[in-house]
Structure formats: structure tokens, C-alpha cells
């Protein structure tokens, strides 16, 4: 098992007031007497990029540090280029300059809706690592691929193609998020047993690529809820979660963090 990580993907939700209220409520939840987080759990928040500054200020003003807690910031997407005439894009260096530690790369919504292919995703992973960010690389199969018995082969191909530019000394900066496409935003989560099987396969694939697979964080995403989190995180190869809808509610997200 690698390091434990819970990452919040707000997707395209929120505004400045929402950010203020959610961070205040989350701070209260995470610092309640007898309900604080284990020090071994890292927590990252990925708001829309326009809210990064507000999120950073909110965290700096919170009482989390007094309780020994640090919430890291991240972005939901990055450019495949370092700089240039790419209107609307955000570089990895810009994200790092804003205090980000993580970046989500290759989320299925971007693969499907924005047409991102494995080459672009590989270049984004490289940009992250070059700027000192930790990429959270998303992989996962569609429902049709699962029904056709192709879940393992699809995940293997995504890993092989996206990680081609990772140097040996960079492996432990990479986080893998298994997100079955059929479970994202549907309310249907993979069973703990099915998720564990794919997570185990991911570690086998990483090892075959020369990575220190047992030391890397491999997390699960796909309609994780407080009532399913504990069983998922109890699996030997699941190190945490990439949380979507439940991260927009302080009580639910805090419960998921504590389950890790």
C-alpha cells in the first residue's frame, strides 16, 4: 500500500461564497474533538482554477494548521505545453506558482468531452513532473469494455501510453486514480472487490513498467459516498479516493476522509 490520499474534484461547481462556506464547514468538521484525521492521510482540493486564490486564502485563514492538518491545492487540468500562444490554457508552472501540489490528468470527462488522447495525456504528465506537481493520472474502462472483458487490457494500455515520459526518479510523484467510466457521476460505485481487482492489476502493470508499485498511491474514484468509503478503503491496494459530488458537501467529504 502506498501513501494515503483523498482528493476533492469540485468539477465546474462553486463560486467565491461557496468556497468560503465550504472551507469553513470543512475546517469545522475536520477539527471536531475526537474526529480529527489520521496524520498519515493527505487531503487535496481541486477547485475550478478561477477559485484557486480564494481557496488558498481560505485555507491559510483556517485553523487546520493548529491541528496539524494541511490541505493541499490542485488543478483539474493542465496544458500539454509549458507556455505560448494557447488561449485559455493554464501551464503546470502557473499552477505551481499558485501554490498547487497536484493536478488531475486524463479524467474521463476530458477524454470523452474534450477529445484528449493518450499522447496529450502523456505530455501533460511530463509537464506536471517538470514543474514539481504530482499528477493524478486517471484510468478506467467504459461499461461496454467491462462487459466485453476488456477492463484490464484497457487500463493497461492507458498506463503504458500515459507514463512513457516518467523518469525512474519521478515514479513516486505519480498518483494513479482508477475511475471506471460507468461509475463517474452515476451514483453507481464499483464493488469493493471489483475495485480491488483492478487496483491490484494496476500495481502489477506499474511494476512491469519499472515503477516501485507498492510505494505509489493508487486511489479509487467513481461515486464514492460516506457509506461505501470504508469498505473501499479497507482493500489492500486502494490507498484513498478521488471524490466528485461528495466533495461538495463538508460533512460527506470529511466522513470520507476519516474513512481513509
Catalytic residues: 107, 179
User: What DSSP element (H or E) covers 73?
Assistant: strand 71-75
Could you give the maximum distance between any two Cα atoms of the chain, in Å? 51
Length of the chain: 260
Residues in a beta bridge with 100: 73
Cell (9 digits) for 119: 499522447
Report d(CA 10, CA 242) in Å as an integer.
10
**Distance from C-alpha of 83 to C-alpha of 98, rounded to nearest angstrom:** 16
Are 124 and 135 in contact by the 8 Å Cβ rule? The answer is yes
Amino acid at each position: 500500500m502506498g501513501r494515503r490520499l483523498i482528493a476533492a474534484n469540485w468539477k465546474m461547481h462553486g463560486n467565491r461564497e461557496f468556497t468560503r462556506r465550504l472551507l469553513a464547514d470543512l475546517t469545522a468538521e475536520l477539527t471536531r474533538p475526537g474526529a480529527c484525521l489520521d496524520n498519515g492521510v493527505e487531503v487535496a482540493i481541486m477547485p475550478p482554477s478561477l477559485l484557486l486564490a480564494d481557496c488558498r486564502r481560505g485555507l491559510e485563514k483556517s485553523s487546520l494548521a493548529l491541528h496539524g492538518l494541511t490541505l493541499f491545492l490542485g488543478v483539474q487540468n493542465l496544458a500539454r505545453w509549458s507556455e505560448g500562444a494557447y488561449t485559455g490554457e493554464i501551464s503546470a508552472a502557473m499552477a505551481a506558482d499558485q501554490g498547487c501540489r497536484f493536478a488531475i490528468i486524463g479524467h474521463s470527462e476530458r477524454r470523452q468531452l474534450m477529445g484528449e488522447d493518450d499522447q496529450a495525456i502523456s505530455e501533460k504528465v511530463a509537464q506536471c513532473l517538470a514543474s514539481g506537481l504530482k499528477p493524478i493520472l486517471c484510468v478506467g474502462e467504459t461499461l461496454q469494455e467491462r462487459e466485453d472483458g476488456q477492463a484490464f487490457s484497457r487500463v493497461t494500455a492507458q498506463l503504458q501510453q500515459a507514463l512513457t515520459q516518467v523518469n525512474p526518479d519521478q515514479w513516486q510523484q505519480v498518483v494513479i486514480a482508477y475511475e471506471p467510466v460507468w461509475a463517474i457521476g452515476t451514483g453507481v460505485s464499483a464493488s469493493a472487490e471489483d475495485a480491488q481487482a483492478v487496483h491490484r492489476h494496476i500495481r502489477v502493470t506499474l511494476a512491469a513498467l519499472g515503477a516501485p508499485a507498492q510505494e505509489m498511491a493508487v486511489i479509487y474514484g467513481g461515486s464514492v459516498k460516506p457509506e461505501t468509503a470504508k469498505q473501499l478503503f479497507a482493500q489492500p491496494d486502494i490507498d484513498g479516493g478521488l471524490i466528485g459530488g461528495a466533495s461538495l458537501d463538508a460533512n460527506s467529504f470529511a466522513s470520507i476522509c476519516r474513512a481513509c
